[in-house]
């Protein structure tokens, strides 16, 4: 076995992490800014008990996600390809929650999609109309019941060869869904070096036989947008961005300026009212 190995971080603790390689898992000494999902290079350290490692390099990331920690954004996961936004009738998922995660995903170079969970519950037309807003802008929607397993195979097929983070309100079924995909109940992470149970893991990565990777991050809260510049917000609303290219003036405020194409498209129904309202709210935060 070569002294320098490469692998992916699958669990992270306050000062150490678990790295999965072709030769098995290694407990490694962490370095600054390493997170779950990172592909890393580490040196093998031989001690009296077992092989351990010391991370020496983080490889380039294709994407990264952060969450609010006090007054700062703290990186918590890397190399995610897709974010699954769990939408449910009970508890009700707001369009604001959905649009925030679509925005954050796009600005993080990640593909968003919607998981319409709890299809076993009867819903009103208003709920269907909300889903149609996202269907009309080509956001993929997969209808499932995590509780009863309906259409789980369809979701599994969609997730093949992807690395996904599920997000949803409390009670939306995130843990139930993750357990369905992974094939076992999610439990408290433990280190495999007889050091006992650690509950400080920020997030964990699970991999299935279909090469689906799921990053589970406890304590996910509502998305904070403070770190984004106002001019970036429109990039999370692709139909509004496209419409803005036909505004009469480049500095249009998209509220009350003459010749605003967005207002025209809003009036004729080409842009949904909820998407427009959230765009203005996020931009003017």
How far is Cα 276 from Cα 281, in angstroms, rounded to an integer? 9
Q: Around Cβ 1, how many Cβ atoms within 10 Å?
A: 7
The structural domains of the chain, ordered by start, are: 4-58 (2.40.50.140), 64-216 (3.40.50.300), 230-283 (1.10.40.50)
Beta carbons of 116 and 145 less than 8 angstroms apart: no
Digit-by-digit pLDDT tens for the chain (285 residues) are 678 999 999 998 878 899 999 989 999 998 889 999 999 999 988 765 777 899 999 999 999 998 877 677 788 899 999 999 999 999 999 999 999 999 999 999 999 999 999 999 999 999 999 999 999 999 999 999 999 999 999 999 999 999 999 999 989 999 999 999 998 876 544 444 443 333 445 689 999 998 999 999 876 667 888 889 999 999 999 999 999 999 999 999 999 999 999 999 999 999 999 999 999 999 998
- 244 Rama class: left (phi>0) / alpha (psi -120 to 50) / beta: alpha
Angle at 114 between CA 112 and CA 117, to 5 degrees: 150
So what's the pLDDT on residue 28? 94
Dihedrals phi, psi of 177, to nearest 5 degrees = -65, -45
pTM value is 0.91
**Looking at residue 139, what is its pLDDT?**
98
pLDDT score of 220:
65
Placement of tokens 């006992």 in the chain: 196
* E strand or H helix that includes residue 76: strand 72-78
Residue 67: the pLDDT is 82
pLDDT at site 68: 73
Q: Is 87 exposed, middle or buried (0-12, 13-18, 19+ CB in 10 A)?
A: buried
What is the model's pLDDT at position 193?
42
């Amino acid at each position: 076995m070569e002294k320098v190995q490469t692998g992916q971080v699958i669990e992270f603790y306050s000062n150490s992490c678990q790295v999965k390689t072709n030769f098995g898992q290694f407990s490694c000494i962490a370095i600054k800014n390493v997170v779950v999902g990172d592909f890393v290079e580490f040196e093998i350290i031989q001690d009296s008990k077992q092989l351990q490692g010391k991370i020496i390099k983080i490889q380039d990331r294709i994407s990264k996600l952060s969450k609010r920690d006090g007054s700062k954004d703290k990186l918590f996961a890397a190399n995610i390809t897709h974010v699954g936004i769990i939408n449910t009738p009970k508890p009700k998922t707001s369009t604001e929650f959905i649009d925030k995660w679509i925005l954050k995903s796009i600005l993080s170079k990640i593909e968003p999609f919607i998981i319409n969970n709890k299809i076993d519950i009867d819903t009103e037309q208003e709920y269907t109309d909300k889903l149609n807003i996202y269907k009309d802008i080509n956001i993929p929607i997969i209808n499932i019941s995590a509780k009863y397993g309906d259409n789980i195979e369809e979701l599994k097929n969609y997730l093949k060869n992807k690395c996904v983070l599920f997000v949803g309100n409390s009670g939306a079924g995130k843990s139930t869904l993750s357990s369905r995909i992974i094939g076992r109940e999610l439990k408290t992470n433990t280190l495999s070096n007889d050091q006992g149970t650690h509950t400080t893991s920020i997030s964990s990565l699970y991999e299935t036989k279909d090469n689906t990777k799921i990053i589970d991050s406890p304590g996910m809260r509502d998305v904070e947008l403070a770190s984004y510049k106002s001019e970036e917000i429109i990039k999370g609303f692709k139909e509004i961005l496209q419409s803005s290219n036909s505004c009469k003036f480049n500095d249009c405020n998209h509220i009350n300026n003459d010749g605003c194409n967005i207002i025209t498209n809003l009036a004729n129904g080409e842009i949904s009212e909820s998407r427009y309202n959230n765009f203005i709210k996020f931009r003017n935060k």
